[in-house]
Amino acid sequence: MFTSFNAAEKEVRYPADRRMFIGIKPYMLVILFALLLLTVGVAWLQYLVWGLPPEPPSAMVGAPTVSPSGFPAWLRLSHWVNFFFLVLIVRSGLSILADHPRLYWNNGCSPDSEWIRFTPVKVPDDRVWTAKEDARYLNPVAGLPGYRHSVGLARCWHFIAVPFFLLNGAIFIALLFFTDQWKRLVPASWRIIPESWNVFVHYVTFHMPAEPNGFYNFNALQQVSYFVVVFVLAPVALLSGMGMSPAIENRFHWVPKLFGNRQGARSVHFFVMLAFVGFTVIHVALVLITGFSRNMNHIIAGTDNAVSHTGIYVGMGIFFFTVAFGFLAHWISWQRPRSLQYAEATINGTLWRISINKFHPRSFYKQEDISPYFWVNGKMPGSAEWRKMAEDDFKEYKLKIGGLVEKPLELSLDDLKKLGMEQNITMHHCIQGWSGIAEWGGLPIKTIIELVKPHASVTTVAFYSFGEGLYGGTYYDTHSIDNCLKPQSILAWEMNYKPLSKEHGAPLRLRVENQLGYKMVKWISSIEFLETARHTGKGYGGKNEDDEYYDLLADS
């Protein structure tokens, strides 16, 4: 798909193992089977034992005096705008899922505790297995942008589309109640429940009920379905998406708690995606078999015309435009990725800075919440300097602190420990999707800032690692000095009340709890105070931002 990669990128994007796999835990299969039995199974039982239930009034109305009548232009436009952005959201969401292809109900994400996995690989117990290795390849026909380790660009598309999807929905709902169109969607009586069940029995036993003219009315099941999509699925999609944000979780802990926990929100988000896709497939199928020309004229031209093919032609044009945009989006992803990264940062960075970022993170977790497992991620340092220090438990380690400061310093671990210690139990949010709760002990970055006295022009703090990035080169990341001054921002030498392990970032790792995990540099070698991040690395704020187009603002 007109995409070119260099040798290092090809090795990452096109893994040798591209097998597809779906593994569901038996207990989830039992639950899903029970749900199927209680719906489709009961419907068939009713049909076989008692016959088809009577059809509810189908409101086969054709008179223009019925209110609401027809579909106004704003509703038709909103319908197709919703379709366009939903395609972007689902395809980019699949690419995000592929970077950690496991779903859980627990915050700890221990191997084999997932309820479903989309990888044939079981986490080996005879060696360190990193979350980066666990990612899967996704065909770009299905995912946006597809391939492997493209979560940075996938998030760009996801978070560019989401605000417009929500704005379109908000305008739709406002106009729905400003006009009488709400009567189409909002049931006026509890009779809708038994009536919709009767229609459901007809559909699932392959007996098509009398089809009302949708220009004037929907049958009971259609009305309930549209109501659920607009007033249930959309809000749940919004709340479950928010429940995965570290900035939300650390400020408004009740949001992920709506779904049990952060991983519960991720799983529910996945189910909502399936519900949207399932609804769309069934909706399109019924449009095709119940009068394609007439139905398309309803939602395209706003006319009740069963003869004209105008609606079909325009509708197919919209469909092919969406497909063509998929090809364009793929091209933009790999030929203009920096523009995409900046567009996402401009839209969502602005929204977060004027809202959530004004609130301070808070502590919610206790010692009993600590996860029994914490995924390892990132390349272990290969430098001789780090390995030599690691052999001696970092007794010779010196943290170098410089840049635009009045008092440059070099501090050993003992020096740092004498300056004080703060302990926090927090949840780690990885951009790939996994999470883990751990205790972190270390020195507040605020103390470092007070010691070195940065110049007034400093806005940015860079943290450099002994480790390397995905494509080689020194790993680093930057934070605003404001973030470094926030509560729970520390240089940690302790994890779960023990010295930080080599795999998890010894001798020091960064913790800034309103950020995603890739911003929390491990194996820290030095700190530099800067006016801007533009002259460090490639100038985009971090190694993953430079090379993998990760979020420039990583608190979502």
Taking a C-beta distance cutoff of 8 angstroms, is the pair 202, 47 a contact?
no
- Residue 443 placed within a domain: yes
- Non-local (6+) Cβ contacts of 266 within 8 A are 103, 104, 240, 243, 244, 433
- Residue 1 placed within a domain: no
Domain check: are 151 and 252 in the same one? yes
- Residue 117 placed within a domain: no
Domain check: are 369 and 339 in the same one? no
Q: What's the CA gap between 263 and 321, in Å, rounded? A: 35
Taking a C-beta distance cutoff of 8 angstroms, is the pair 410, 401 a contact?
yes
- Residue 554 placed within a domain: no
Report the pLDDT value the prediction gives residue 555, as an integer from 0 to 100: 54
- Residue 334 placed within a domain: yes
Q: What's the CA gap between 460 and 150, in Å, rounded? A: 27
Burial of 448 (0-12, 13-18, 19+ CB in 10 A): buried
pLDDT tens-digit map of 136-191: 999 999 999 999 999 999 999 999 999 999 999 999 999 999 999 998 899 988 99
Domain check: are 236 and 146 in the same one? yes
160-187 burial, b for 16+ CB within 10 Å, e for fewer? bbbebbeebbeebbeebeeeebeebbee
Domain check: are 390 and 465 in the same one? yes
Domain boundary among 356, 374, 404: 356
Query: What is the torsional sign of CA 276, 279, 285, 288?
Result: negative
DSSP annotation of 345 reads I
Residue ranges for the chain with pLDDT beneath 70: 1-3, 57-67, 354-361, 553-556
Q: What's the CA gap between 539 and 115, in Å, rounded? A: 40
Domain check: are 527 and 435 in the same one? yes
Domain check: are 399 and 485 in the same one? yes
Helix, strand counts (H, E) of the chain: 22, 13
- Residue 127 placed within a domain: no
Q: Which two tokens stand for residue 339?
A: 């523009």
CA 481 to chain centre: 27
Q: What's the CA gap between 272 and 282, in Å, rounded? A: 15
CATH code of 371's domain: 3.90.420.10
Taking a C-beta distance cutoff of 8 angstroms, is the pair 485, 446 a contact?
yes
Domain check: are 292 and 217 in the same one? yes
> In degrees, to the nearest 5, what angle opens at C-alpha 390 toward C-alphas 385 and 392?
105
- Residue 153 placed within a domain: yes
For 34, 107, 111, 272, 444, the CA distances from 69, given in Å and listed in that order, are 40, 49, 55, 31, 64
Q: Which two tokens stand for residue 404?
A: 């635009």
Query: What is the torsional sign of CA 112, 117, 123, 128?
Result: negative
pLDDT tens-digit map of 453-483: 999 999 999 999 999 988 888 999 999 998 8
- Non-local (6+) Cβ contacts of 503 within 8 A are 128, 376, 380
- Could you tell me whether strands 399-403 and 524-530 are parallel, antiparallel, or unpaired per DSSP bridges? parallel
Q: What's the CA gap between 307 and 393, in Å, rounded? A: 81
Report the pLDDT value the prediction gives residue 84, as an integer from 0 to 100: 97
SS3 content of the chain, % helix, strand, coil (to 5): 45, 15, 40
- Residue 269 placed within a domain: yes
Taking a C-beta distance cutoff of 8 angstroms, is the pair 514, 486 a contact?
yes
Q: What's the CA gap between 469 and 55, in Å, rounded? A: 63
Domain check: are 144 and 210 in the same one? yes
Domain check: are 349 and 400 in the same one? no
Domain check: are 343 and 364 in the same one? no
DSSP annotation of 186 reads S
Domain check: are 334 and 384 in the same one? no
Domain boundary among 356, 390, 412: 356
Range of the domain at 461: 360-547
Query: How many domains does one find in the chain?
Result: 2
Domain boundary among 356, 390, 416: 356
Domain check: are 486 and 504 in the same one? yes
Burial of 540 (0-12, 13-18, 19+ CB in 10 A): buried
